[in-house]
Amino acid sequence: MSSPVRKDPAAPAFAIVNAGQPGDRPATPKKVPHKGGAANPSVEALRAKFGSVIGRHEVMWGDTTVFVERTKVAEVCAWLQSDPTQSYEYLSDVTAVEYRDHVRPIEVVWHIRSIKFRRFLRIKCEIPKDGKTPLEVPSVWPVWKGADWLERECYDMFGIKFAGHPDLRRILLWEDFKEGFPLRKDFPMRGRFSRSEQLKNALAADPEARYSMEEISIADAYGDLPLDMRKRLAGGEKVGE
């Protein structure tokens, strides 16, 4: 019987992957200016590739933001993800910003990272609030599957539609929520309807119309609880307050 092969105890337990440029070591930036400074090199690469599709860019606290034509966002993101000189493998967030200024456009924002090159890039596009331009941008779900729930949340809170998303529906509020989009500046603090109307709408929602029995099985488990526990719950016992 052969004896097991012993590994050198000094050898690493796994392969060490050094991201970034050869010889590049990670370091915490110091004395970063509030505005200005060196821009992410991807900006110039984008301008060379897409020309006038790429608008202005800003550098604040060392982070670069680049503005992209609204209809070309998915195309730009696909190139940033697939091109070996860019390699933005990770989408960390999709969100939006609406300002109190009625003239200023709504901004849709994507935060992407290149782990390989240790780069962060913020992409923005602007949607005018002119009543004519639809609140719609292309979905980046085909590029990063992690965009699924991020785009749904942005749609739920801001009402921005992501064309091409495979399952664009509310994720935090119920699908029949009729009061609008809570993070829009025109949304009243107490909602558009009275509390009684809100309760009536919530109770009228039929979860079985949108969810499978497996997803609502927790509700069926009530019948399996011990009798004394069901009595306490039916009596309206408060817990934690």
Its sign, for the CA torsion 169, 171, 175, 180, is negative
> pLDDT (tens digit, 9 = 90+) per residue, 191-226?
767 767 767 776 776 655 555 555 555 556 667 667
Average pLDDT on 96-122 reads 95
pLDDT confidence bin for 233, thresholds 50/70/90: low
What b/e string do you get for 83-108 counting C-beta neighbours within 10 Å, with b at 16 or more? eeebbbeebeebbbebeeeeeebbbb
> What's the token pair of residue 206?
């039929």
Candidates 158, 161, 160; CA nearest to 185 is 158
pLDDT confidence bin for 21, thresholds 50/70/90: low
| Domains of the chain with CATH codes | 37-172 (3.30.460.80), 174-241 (no CATH)
> pLDDT (tens digit, 9 = 90+) per residue, 128-151?
999 899 999 999 999 999 999 999
CB 59 within 8 A of CB 35: yes
Average pLDDT on 219-234 reads 69
Answer whether residue 6 shows pLDDT above 80: no
pLDDT confidence bin for 40, thresholds 50/70/90: very high
- Residues 207-214: contacts with CB within 8 Å, 24+ apart? 210/175
pLDDT recorded at residue 197: 74
DSSP 38-54: PPPTHHHHHHHHHGGGE
